[in-house]
Chain A
């Protein structure tokens, strides 16, 4: 059974950093692109970043470009989102998602709160 489990969220001050992890199991991790998506309660999901199967290709939403990086360790079946220079507007639930036709599997998310 496919599982995606996010961790690493929490409360951080503006300007701070967090590293999110997404541990995958139940499927052949290294053949899937992986994305991070965030969602503010009551709002629609918003795409944040994506990474190719081998990590050689990445892209980011304009709102996080230059502040966030994405990486993966296929030996550990894990994808990461390094978030630096965090802003209040980055507050959201962050999900990792497996890419098929759309997102066929999502994790349960990890809450990131940026506040002083």
Chain B
């Protein structure tokens, strides 16, 4: 199975400051045939299912604020929130969908300092 590891486990950031979450995969998620990374990011708030925020490592889903961005390729990826707002408090997960079982990172809890 592909192991996906996130860091840090939790992150406290002041309002308006930048937050960065890292995700590392045990094998490359870059599919050579069409040069896409099979990596997604989700936001989950209490009592709700995860919500897709980023797919193909860097494509924002519809309605996701542009302060959220994804980057990286191969085995190393990053989710950046350029200016954290109060409504961004949540747990963020990365997920590989390169191969089954689709595996998730352990999650990063974003809080306001």
Q: Which residues of A contact B (CB under 8 A)?
A: 35, 43-47, 50, 59, 61, 95, 99-104, 106-109
Q: Among the listed B48, B51, B55, B100, which residue makes an inter-chain contact with A59, where contact means beta carbons less than 8 Å apart?
A: B100
On chain B, the residues within 8 Å of A95 by CB distance are 49
CA distance in complex: A85, B52 (Å): 32
On chain B, the residues within 8 Å of A107 by CB distance are 49
| Contact call A46/B50, Cβ cutoff below 8 A | no
User: Which of A35, A43, A101, A109 is packed against the most chain B CB atoms within 10 Å?
Assistant: A101
With A101-B56, A102-B95, A104-B61 in contact, do A109 and B101 touch (Cβ < 8 Å)? no
Q: Among the listed B49, B106, B107, which residue makes an inter-chain contact with A109, where contact means beta carbons less than 8 Å apart?
A: B49
For the A-B complex, the count of residue pairs with Cβ-Cβ distances under 8 Å equals: 51
Q: Which residue of A lies closest to B91 (CB)?
A: A44
Q: Among the listed A45, A59, A61, which residue makes an inter-chain contact with B104, where contact means beta carbons less than 8 Å apart?
A: A45
User: Which of B49, B51, B56, B100 is packed against the most chain A CB atoms within 10 Å?
Assistant: B49
Number of B residues whose C-beta is below 8 Å from A? 23
**Secondary structure call for the B interface:** loop
Nearest-neighbour CB distance to chain B for A76, whole angstroms, equals 22
On chain A, the residues within 8 Å of B100 by CB distance are 47, 50, 59
19 additional contacts (CB under 8 A) given A102-B40, A102-B42, A103-B50: A35-B102, A43-B107, A44-B105, A44-B106, A45-B93, A45-B104, A47-B100, A47-B103, A47-B104, A59-B100, A99-B97, A101-B38, A101-B40, A101-B55, A101-B97, A102-B52, A104-B52, A107-B49, A109-B49
